[in-house]
């Protein structure tokens, strides 16, 4: 008799678009275990720090909130320096025994830069101001890249791209949370 495998949590699409004087991060609200949707209105996108940084996460919820808390501490330590705060968090994430076990990714943005942070120490800036993570991330990314040169604003591109991802990815729904900032 084989031991049962733990259920794997699925269900996140997070997308960021920087265009026309705005940066928008949007995410869906679905959380699934195996083939079952256990929550349809999770809030995976939020403002951080003093409201001048926005972020979204993919992965284990408790792990993501731990990372958000750590990032907020780094933002206090390096005010107005999102890139520096993210690099310092990535260093900790790679070297700290507890943090290394965290299973999450984050997209964060301020008025100047958008970044993706991973547990492998990556701090990546998106090409053409568009980046996505999560189970439906590639679908949303493809849609957003196709719409990036259109006359649509950043919010419209994020909404439409997440809608397209929800059509394709069974782990993505249409309960969206969006946060936006004016860019500098």
Strands 36-39 vs 31-33: parallel, antiparallel or unpaired: antiparallel
Q: Which of 12, 13, 16, 177 is catalytic?
A: 12
Q: Which two tokens stand for residue 135?
A: 């189970």
- Position 1 scores a pLDDT of 42
66 is catalytic: no
Identify whether the C-beta of residue 17 lies closer than 8 Å to the C-beta of residue 145.
no
- Position 8 scores a pLDDT of 43
Domains in the chain: ranges and CATH: 9-178 (3.60.20.10)
Identify whether the C-beta of residue 129 lies closer than 8 Å to the C-beta of residue 148.
yes
Q: What is the pLDDT of residues 13-39, one digit of tens each?
A: 999 999 999 999 999 999 888 888 889
Q: What is the pLDDT of residues 120-177, one digit of tens each?
A: 778 999 989 999 999 999 999 999 999 999 999 999 999 999 999 999 999 999 999 9
Q: Which range among 32-41, 92-101, 174-183 has the greatest average pLDDT?
A: 174-183
Q: How many CB atoms lie within 10 A of CB 97?
A: 6
């Amino acid at each position: 008799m084989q031991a049962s495998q733990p259920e794997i949590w699925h269900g996140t699409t997070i997308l960021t678009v920087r265009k026309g004087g705005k940066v928008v991060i949007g995410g869906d609200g679905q959380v699934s275990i195996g083939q079952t949707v256990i929550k349809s209105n999770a809030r995976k996108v939020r403002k951080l720090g003093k409201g001048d940084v926005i972020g979204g996460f993919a992965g284990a919820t408790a792990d993501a909130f731990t990372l958000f808390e750590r990032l907020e501490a780094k933002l206090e330590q390096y005010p107005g320096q999102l890139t520096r705060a993210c690099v310092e968090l990535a260093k900790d994430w790679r070297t700290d025994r507890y943090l290394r076990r965290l299973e999450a990714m984050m997209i964060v943005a301020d008025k100047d830069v958008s970044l993706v942070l991973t547990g492998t120490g990556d701090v990546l800036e998106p090409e053409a101001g568009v980046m996505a993570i999560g189970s439906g991330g590639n679908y949303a990314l493809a849609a957003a890249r196709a719409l990036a040169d259109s006359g649509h604003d950043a919010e419209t591109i994020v909404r439409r791209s997440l809608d397209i991802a929800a059509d394709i990815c069974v782990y993505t729904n249409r309960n969206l949370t969006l946060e936006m900032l004016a860019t500098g």
